[in-house]
Structure 1
Amino acid sequence: MNKTIKISMVMLMGFLAVTSCGKKETAPAESTEVNETSTEGEAAPVTSTEENVLVIEGNDQMQFNVNELKAVAGKPIKLTLKHVGQIAKEVMGHNLVILKEGTDQAAFAVKANDAKATDYIPESEKASIIAHTKLLGGGEEDTIEFTIDKKGSYPFVCSFPGHVALMKGVLIVE
Structure 2
Amino acid sequence: MASPFNASRAARLRADADEEESYLSKITAMRLEMGRFLIDGAREFDMATTLEQRFELLNTNVADRAAVPAGAGLVDLLFVYCAEDSAAHRGDQWNDAPMGNAMRWAVLDGMANTPKGREASTKLFGELFAPGGLFYGAPTYYQHPDGTMLRQAPALVVHDAAGSRTIERRIGK
* Richer in strand (by share): 1
TM-score range, shorter chain: under 0.3
TM-score by length of 2: 0.24
**Higher RCO (Cα < 8 Å, 6 or more apart):** 1
* Richer in helix (by share): 2
Task: Point out the structure with max Rg over C-alpha.
Answer: 2
